Structure 1
Amino acid sequence: MTLAFVVALLAGLSTVVGGWLGTRSGLLRRDVLAASLAFAAGLMIAISVIEIAPAALRAMGDVLGQDAARAWVGGALLLGALTVLAIDKVIPHDLNPAEIEGGEQLERISMGEKDAQLLRSGVLLAAVVALHNLPEGLATFVATLEQPKGGITLAVAIAIHNVPEGVAVAAPIYAATRSRTHAMVWATVSGLAEPFGAVVGYLVLRALLPEEWLVLSLALVAGMMLAVSFMELLPAARRYQTHYSQSLVGFFLGAVVMVLSLQLLSAPIV
């Protein structure tokens, strides 16, 4: 359990890397961010479809039989996706990182624009990113508990995803205050929601599910990851890209790397 918590913590704190980038506009490149986001989406979709969901189905089949297992796993996948969708629905459209991560703030920072209103925007974004990170923390924690190698791979994908979110938080705060310390603090706070969501979510699942059914949480994780990939990562990659090939190549490489790594590991999650 300690390893799972540490992995979730490190994945969440990748927002610090984004915070650092957000205070150094010369290092920000939209083409790199677009490819990185698409790469993370490729990783997440591949591991969810090829490994996590089938592993949950196999394990639940041993408990319930194949027909019932399909129904329960399908329901858990849907519930995971709906959880992410519900979080997005309660967030105002103009504050959702999936909608605003398009480089506009980066361009304002690079031009040296200083706007006090950006401070409020940055603080609100920190709260929004923290809310987004809650289910991601649970996903990383559960996957690492079940199979450390798979969980760490998933954490890498989530960490890549969190870097631009750290940028989105830190850039407006830095523009408003010219304080790298303030910007980094808020980026860090938003990332700490990930280990918090990991622990709280896991305790809730343990209270609600019988011990032998905890593996069903893997399907919940897969649903969350698919929703995050299709609703957030890929749209954000398209907003950052300066040419469609950046997202396309990033996604393809992410999926290929995941497939190859699963072949090399040859270790099922359960």
Structure 2
Amino acid sequence: MTAITLHHLITAFGITLAAGLATVLGSVLVMFSQGPNPRVLSFGLAFAGGAMVYVSLTEIYTKSSEAFALAYGETHGFAATTLAFLAGMGAVALIDRLVPNPHETLDAKDPGFRQQSRQHIARVGLMAAFAITAHNFPEGMATFFATLENPAVGAPLAFAIAIHNIPEGISIAAPVYFATRKKGLTVFVCLLSGLAEPLGAVLGYTALKPFLSPAVFGSVFGLIAGVMVFLALDELLPAAKRYADGHETVYGLTSGMAVIALSLVLFRL
């Protein structure tokens, strides 16, 4: 384990903050464009999903295994990594059950969308913001701790999460902007949701700082790997498939894996 310096903390927090602020970009797309191309959106979502799955299973899971091996030895360390990974998937599944994340992006051009009252649509937007904010906390912790240990791992993960946050911003901004016609309020609601990621990073690090050890890092990375894989399979890939009109999903998935794989190779040269 490397010593944690102020520079490491600032870098990790900055990358996490940038990933969270991508949510605001979704609001900008709603207010100043005709809407994203569905096929491009499908490719982007699948790209992010492929990147998250690849970096989680090849790098973050490995970090967990290495840390646990230092604490408990290889055999028990491998078992601990597996349990942490499964616990991560279970934890985010529980969050999803308690606070369901809206998987459908509302389209202001949809006639059914326009038939609803503005007051009801505003409530839908606020509920979407609340649900997405709840899901952003573990994402922020994942980005922060991955970057804290190794920026070569954290930066690609943050990039994948940033892509994922753009359509989340759209799903918040579309109903809020349609109901209120207030650009400032729309951006503000998306900003609050995006800031949940750096807040999750700060809270997570503050809570765990007194206990940081190989076993704690192993637990955190195992949980992160499970959370990221679950989010990719539960949210990104199904959403990508909905928007697809061909093979965009599989092309995006494999491209995301390939780009992250090559970037990790380049970081090590």
**Runs (5+) with no aligned partner, structure 1:** none
2:93 to 82, 85, 98: 85
Q: Which of 153, 156, 159 is equivalent to 1:153? A: 156
Tell me the TM-score normalised to structure 1 length.
Answer: 0.90
**Match for residue 164 of structure 1 among 142, 163, 167:** 167
Distance (Å, rounded) in 1 between the aligned partners of 2:66 and 2:12 = 23
Distance 1:36 1:118, change over 3 A: same
Cα-to-partner distance string for 1:183-231 (whole Å, 9 max, x where unaligned): 1111111111111111112223335x45232321111111111011111
- Using a 3 Å threshold, how does the CA distance of structure 1 residues 81 and 60 change in structure 2: closer, same or farther? same
Unaligned runs of 5+ in 2: 1-8
Equivalent in the alignment of 1:201: 204
1:187 to 173, 190, 193: 190
Q: Quote the Cα distance in structure 1 between the aligned partners of 2:58 and 2:267.
A: 13
* Pairing 1:22–2:23 present: no
Q: How far apart are 1:24 and its partner, in Å?
A: 3.2
Give the aligned partner of residue 68 of structure 1. Answer: 76
> Are the equivalent residues in 1 in contact too, given 2:70–2:214 (CA < 8 A)?
no
User: How has the CA–CA distance of structure 1 residues 178 and 210 changed in structure 2, closer, same or farther, with 3 Å as cutoff?
Assistant: closer
Closer, same or farther in 2 for the Cα pair 1:46/1:224, shift >3 Å? same
CA contact (8 A) 1:37 1:161 kept: yes
Q: TM-score, with normalisation over the residues of structure 2?
A: 0.90
1:16-55 aligned within 5 A: 16-55=24-63
> 1:157 offset after TM fit, Å?
0.4
Residue number in structure 2 paired with 1:226 = 229
Letter matched to residue 234 of structure 2: M
Alignment match, 2:217: 215
Partner of 1:237: 240
- Describe how 1:134-153 pairs up with structure 2 within 5 A: 134-153=137-156
What amino acid maps onto 1:212 in structure 2? Answer: P
Give the structure 1 partner of residue 129 of structure 2.
126
Aligned length: 259
Aligned-pair distance for 1:59? 2.8
Which residue number in structure 2 is paired with residue 100 of structure 1? 104
- Counterpart contact for 1:114–1:175, Cα < 8 Å: no
Q: SS state of the match for residue 202, structure 2?
A: helix
- Residues 101-116 of structure 1 aligned to structure 2 (within 5 Å): 101=105, 104-108=106-110, 115-116=117-118
Distance 2:37 2:116 in 1: 20
**What is the letter of the counterpart of residue 45 of structure 2?**
L
Cα separation, 2, equivalents of 1:132 and 1:244: 29
Distance apart, 1:27 and its partner CA: 3.8
CA distance in 2, matches of 1:225, 1:179: 34
Q: Conserved in 1, the CA contact under 8 Å of 2:125 and 2:175?
A: yes
CA RMSD of aligned residues (A): 2.0
Q: Contact conserved, 2:122 with 2:176, CA < 8 A, in 1?
A: yes
- Would the aligned equivalents of 1:115 and 1:175 in 2 still touch at CA under 8 Å? no
Q: Percent identity?
A: 39
